[in-house]
Amino acid sequence: MSTHTVIHKGSCHCGRIAFEVEGEIEQVIECNCSHCSRKGYLLWFVAKQQLRLVTPEADMATYRFNKHVIDHHFCPVCGCAPFGFGKDLSGKETAAINVRCLPELDRSGLKVVQVDGRSF
């Protein structure tokens, strides 16, 4: 990871899943699909290589639904879901970071874009 950009530290509630993600958060999305709306996600999409796991991948559980193309990772201990992995429309691997799992981030000034995931 580059030292020229911001590195955000995140985790699930109990700390079993810990990660760092590099980048400037310009906006987040709030999706109204059945999964995101129930969980209250605020998602920041980055290239997958911008995320680095601090804890073992084996400590995560995975949930897939609908088209089964997104790996929604969550902690099997506390149930918190800090991120998911998928691909964008061009096939590039992405990570969707739940910014609510970045405890030091001040979310009050973030631009929140509403996304109609319910219609996909």
- Average pLDDT, 10 consecutive residues per value, the chain (120 residues): 76 96 94 88 96 93 75 93 91 95 93 88
Separation of first and last alpha carbons in the chain = 34
Sequence-distant (≥ 6) Cβ neighbours of residue 95 within 8 angstroms: 21, 45, 46, 47, 48, 50, 51, 83, 84, 85
Sequence-distant (≥ 6) Cβ neighbours of residue 61 within 8 angstroms: 73, 74, 75, 76
Predicted pLDDT of residue 2? 46
The answer regarding whether domain 7-107 maps to CATH 2.40.70.10 reads no
CA 44 → CA 31, 36, 56, 62, distances in Å? 11, 13, 22, 19
**Domain map (residue ranges) of the chain:** 7-107
- pTM of this structure: 0.89
Q: How far apart are CA 118 and CA 76, in angstroms?
A: 26
Predicted pLDDT of residue 69? 64
Predicted pLDDT of residue 67? 66
